[in-house]
Amino acid sequence: MLYLTLIVCFLISIVMTPLIKKLAFLIGATDRPNQRKVHQSIMPRLGGLAIFVSFIAGIFLIRPENPYSFAILLGSLIIIITGFCDDLFELPAKYKLLGQLAAACCVVFLGDLQVVFINLPFGGQLQFGLLSIPFTILWIVGITNAINLIDGLDGLAAGVSSIALITISGIAFIQGNFYVVAVGLIVLASTIGFLFYNFHPAKIFMGDTGALFLGFIISVLSLLGFKNVTFISFIIPVIILGVPISDTLFAIIRRIINKQPLSAPDKSHLHHCMLRMGFSHRQTVLLIYAMAAFFGLVAVIFSQARIGGALFLIGIVVLIIEIIAEKIGLMGKDHRPLLNIMRTLTTEKNRS
């Protein structure tokens, strides 16, 4: 039944996307080019609505029995309404945040989904206590915005989200969490159908309707798959979402260094830096796909590793991220502490 449902979701997304494109032009939900954006012509938004309609159809077809289902569907509806309104009216940031908080609270309070504790690698537990609710809400809102931030090139957010969904579903299958597998694959099939129209050169953007929805679903599925487990397991979703999380973290660092507001827009995200390095639009997207796939592979290996190997793997991954970030200028052209140290050591070695 699941295989048939995935085919139906894929086909619904394929059929719905051109219809949503017409609707977007009809109601004025379009994205106009400006100095911060890469596209050069007016583009329809709302593409995420096709993903959502396909997702809802898939959920009603298989009707997965789980105490979290109602809360997830209600939260998804709130996030879709928030994204729809932003694509149509360009909401102020505070109203978008309010919608994201409302969606997160649905899952936390109605679904009773909270990260209560983490088993530490060398014994003992980290109990969140009163912080369990704000921590869980922060995770959902943070990942939702991280996916939204990388939605800057044709097919980028949809492709990276698809890779994350494949990884989450794969690890959930290994662990026997078939609810996460079913929901993750339904969203994946819906997103791939949309990606046919969104890959470069895109015919439609997913808009905040799609980026917020994908971020919300991915954040919730990662919690469902890996909550209240070991420290090692808790790191898995962080690794899976390595591309959007690292891009967001470096954006925060960059703005602190430059003494800018954290919400200030700029053109120094990962995809902007790679475009400036001379990569084409399509090459940049494919390279970031490869990075996301690398993180996904590391997460799968990480999930099966012993504590010592897992901690070593974390160190290697963090080192690679930092070197790449400094090489391409994610924190700014002049902020390269690790590369400067390596250069100094190399110079001293050559002198001796």
DSSP letter string, 62-116: H----TTHHHHHHHHHHHHHHHHHHHHH---HHHHHHHHHHHHHIIIIIS-----
Nearest in space to 111 (alpha carbons), one of 219, 220, 226: 220
Predicted pLDDT at 264: 67
Task: Please report where in the chains the tokens 């954290």 appear, as a residue.
Answer: 262
CA 2 and chain centroid, separation: 24
Please state the residue numbers annotated as binding site for Mg(2+): 148, 208
**What's the pTM?**
0.87
Alpha-carbon gap, residue 349 to 342, rounded angstroms = 11
Alpha-carbon gap, residue 349 to 151, rounded angstroms = 43
Nearest in space to 198 (alpha carbons), one of 160, 243, 247: 160
Predicted pLDDT at 332: 66
Predicted pLDDT at 72: 95
Alpha-carbon gap, residue 153 to 274, rounded angstroms = 11
Determine how many CB atoms are found less than 10 A away from the CB of residue 346: 10
200, 146 Cβ separation under 8 angstroms: no
Predicted pLDDT at 250: 82
Cis peptide before 121 (omega within 30 of 0): no
Note down pLDDT in tens along the chain; length 352 residues.
788 999 999 999 999 999 999 999 999 888 877 655 555 678 898 999 999 999 999 999 998 778 889 999 999 999 999 999 999 998 998 999 999 999 999 999 998 888 776 666 555 667 777 888 998 999 899 999 988 888 878 899 999 999 999 999 998 898 888 999 999 999 999 999 999 999 988 899 999 999 999 999 999 998 887 654 555 556 777 788 888 888 888 888 877 877 777 666 667 778 878 888 888 888 999 999 999 999 888 888 877 777 777 778 888 888 888 888 888 777 766 677 777 777 776 766 666 6
Task: Please report where in the chains the tokens 């993750």 appear, as a residue.
Answer: 184
Task: Please report where in the chains the tokens 């970031």 appear, as a residue.
Answer: 288
Alpha-carbon gap, residue 180 to 244, rounded angstroms = 21
Residue type, 150: I
Please state the residue numbers annotated as binding site: 148, 208
Alpha-carbon gap, residue 102 to 107, rounded angstroms = 9
Predicted pLDDT at 309: 77
Alpha-carbon gap, residue 301 to 297, rounded angstroms = 6
In the numeric block, which tokens belong to residue 294? 């690398």
User: 263: burial class by Cβ within 10 Å (0-12, 13-18, 19+)?
Assistant: exposed
